[in-house]
Structure 1
Amino acid sequence: MATPSASKTPAATTSVPASSAGGVLGAWPTPTGDKSVTSTIKVPTSLNGGMKRFIGSGALGGDSQDEDQDPIFELADGATLENVILGDPAADGVHCLGSCTLRNVWWQDVGEDAATFKGTSASATYVVDGGGARQADDKVFQFNGQGKLTVKNFQAENFGKLVRMCGNCKTQYQRHAVISNVKVTSPGKVLVGVNANYGDTATLSGVTVVGDSARKITICERFKGNNTGAEPSSLGTGSDGTHCLYSASDITYK
């Protein structure tokens, strides 16, 4: 089967859910239809999915934590993906090869990762605006590349780590993340993981944590990253004014 073309995907015919952007975190959207994906959809500039649900099949029919899976969508540098639902299975979700924007993108059941950011330029910018992710056994957003990741107006339920700056990639960079107006629902492990030894920073504001009365979810964890593939060691948790940047008023528990 030929690789699906972004240009063949119809534009949205329904309004964007109120939960997508603009600071309102509401109900999860209902798909307008389903589309089976057997080979990675490459997006050179933009793709508006019209709130269709894209489901991996064939070679993309896995939902394990195996490394090196192919994604459902691969975005070229500067591309935008919007109004899309990724169903189950979702393989390795979305790969951004450089700067990208994911607007109102939803993952019903995260496979290996929801999205992986791979740009190698220090000026690369990755923006996740709206949307949500469920059932992420490990990471929602895997930050392997260089630059700045912004996650805003987003919600996650039942996750391992919301954002993890790669702790053991062969090529390491200094990475920065800004997380704002985000709601996470327990169970979860870590909101954001940074590598202190590479100068990473995470700035958080407007974070709401639901169903975690025991406060088991770590807001920010600092690691000692490496480029050898070894498991990175933890250097501590909590706001430190250098790498994990937030105050108690930035986090609300419900």
Structure 2
Amino acid sequence: MSILSIELNREGARFCNFPKASRNNVTKTGFYVRGDQDVDFGMQRIRLNGNPGTCNPKIPKQWGSVITVADGGTVRNVILGVSSDGTAADINCMGNCTLKNVW
């Protein structure tokens, strides 16, 4: 194995080291963050169990996001989890938003 390969594997291992979730939050509806809000999710892992198949890339983006952020809003300390039924795992910024420590 080459040195480059070993180094790339180390980088990959660091990338895959997600932080430990403070709790798992499975929800049927997404969260909405107003433009004047700074929401700290406290390292929750959030899974949206919405409508099945919403991660299908062949359909237009008209499904509910895990978190929708209005222009000027901030989201921090959250881990997005993909549900087994294939629902979306995304944040939708409706303009300029700030994401801090989002996994």
Same fold (TM over 0.5): yes
Aligned twin of 1:42 = 32
Structure 1, unaligned stretches of length 5 or more? 1-24, 107-254
1:93 to 86, 90, 99: 90
Report the TM-score, using the length of structure 1 for normalisation: 0.30
Structure 1 stretches of at least 4 aligned residues deviating more than 6 Å after TM superposition:
none
Please report the TM-score for the alignment, with normalisation by the length of structure 2.
Answer: 0.68
Distance in 1 between the 2:53 and 2:67 partners?
14
Partner of 1:79: 73
| 2:21 match | 31
Look up the equivalent residue of 2:97 and give its one-letter code. C
| Structure with greater strand percent | 1
Change in CA separation of 1:60 and 1:36 when aligned onto 2, cut-off 3 Å? farther
Change (3 A) 1:92 1:85: closer
Distance in 2 separating the partners of 1:29 and 1:38 = 24
CA distance in 2: counterparts of 1:42 and 1:51, whole angstroms: 17
- Greater fraction of residues in helix: 2
The correspondence of residues 1-254 of structure 1 with structure 2, limited to 5 A, is 27-44=17-34, 45-59=37-51, 62-65=54-57, 66-68=59-61, 69-89=63-83, 91=88, 93-106=90-103
Residue 60 of structure 1 and its aligned partner are, at CA, apart by 6.9
Aligned residues: 82
- Percent identity, please: 30
Q: Greater Rg, structure 1 or structure 2?
A: 1
Letter of the aligned partner of 2:92 in structure 1?
H
- Separation in 2, partners of 1:36, 1:101: 23
CA separation of 1:29/1:50 partners in 2, compared to 1, >3 Å: closer, same or farther?
A: same
Q: CA RMSD in A?
A: 2.1
